[in-house]
Structure 1
């Protein structure tokens, strides 16, 4: 599978809520760099993060554009997050089913045909404004 197809399959699984399938696209030693957070290493930590996100947020990504370098070992995706805040996340405003629309992007490193790094960025202040309105 080429790099763009790999990233597309990863996001297709995300949008369909198939978090177990997402894991199949990840390298065993994946590093997940969370927006304004730490680095989670390994599929188990990625799985824990996904479980938490599924409890607190319902999100669908639209307008996905995927980029990859010629070597196929680095990629990026730009998209819009269309979400609903379901359950209060620690340190964040109270969840009351607020909806949000947020531009975001992710950078990837590909190794051995799998995603070895996921680094996601979005504007947290914009998200806070939307869910606090």
Structure 2
């Protein structure tokens, strides 16, 4: 992984923790592919922007224990813990009542010409459902 790729990835996750969607979007390419856990692939920056807005409406989340891993040029893997609060009910999910949750997460970024072109995120949905349903 180049220092530039590592720096871009670190800025992306730092912007996430700061709740700074615009800073995240500044790192994303216009034709980004967003592979969401248990969902359809979203294509393009506008779809990613809409995703961030919906996530901000429904969840309050913070990343801790972030570790970035070397990969071939243009590839960064990350492992972290996401601690969050479920603020607003999402379609086909349990009712939101401010439930707190904590999950291990894996995320993978592709970076081309200084912009993130792919974001893939995985977590255990069954574990999240158990935590917000208790």
- TM-score range (shorter-chain normalised) is over 0.9
State the partner residue of 1:60: 62
State the partner residue of 2:81: 80
Gaps of 5+ in 1: none
Partner SS for 1:9? helix
Gaps of 5+ in 2: none
- Shift of the alpha carbon at 1:70? 4.3
Kept in 2: contact 1:3–1:68 (CA 8 A): no
In 2, the alpha carbon distance for the partners of 1:51 and 1:70 equals: 31
State the partner residue of 1:110: 111
Task: Tell me the matched-pair count.
Answer: 132
Stretches (4+) displaced over 4 A: none
Taking structure 1 as the reference length, what is the TM-score of the superposition? 0.96
Are residue 49 (structure 1) and residue 51 (structure 2) matched?
A: yes
Deviations 1:56-80 (A, max 9, x none): 0000000000113242x11110000
Q: How does 1:33-44 map to 2 (within 5 A)?
A: 33-44=35-46
Let me know the Cα RMSD of the aligned residues: 0.9
In 1, the alpha carbon distance for the partners of 2:71 and 2:13 equals: 18
